[in-house]
Amino acid sequence: MKRALVLVDHGSRRPEANAQLDALAERVRARVSDRFVQVAHMEQASPSIEQAVAACVAAGAEEIVVHPYFLGPGNHTRVDIPRLVGEAAAQHPGLRIAISEPLGLDEKLVELVLARVEEAG
């Protein structure tokens, strides 16, 4: 079974903001060889969640995990992304899609925050 991962962020009108998700996807691809990795933006930029799911299916994916690249469990992660994923999944009968939790509280994020604070002076 071919598996895929879709990394979803909010999306921005600023290309450099969207480019960060592309860079993250490249790093994830380098670590996982068993998954097709695709990016998606909720709004403001392409590809959309619908387009990303379609790209995964076109690549042969039968199972997709959508990861909301958000810090907390807000309205986007609890309402908007599940709705958009459901709409995309409805176009591909038999496709299995799961949505992971957002980044949340994790010691690695604490370490990253402290590193950024140190960098700032």
User: What is the SS3 assignment for 92?
Assistant: coil
Give me 25's structure tokens: 């996807």
Give me 30's structure tokens: 């380098």
The residues that bridge with 56 in the sheet, in sequence order, are none
Q: Catalytic annotation on 10? A: yes
Q: Which residue bears the tokens 């807000």?
A: 74
CB 76 within 8 A of CB 40: no
- Active-site position among 10, 41, 67, 76: 10
**How far apart, in whole angstroms, are the C-alpha atoms of residue 29 and residue 16?**
20
Consecutive H or E run containing 63: strand 63-68
Give me 20's structure tokens: 């960060």
Question: What residues are annotated to the active site?
Answer: 10
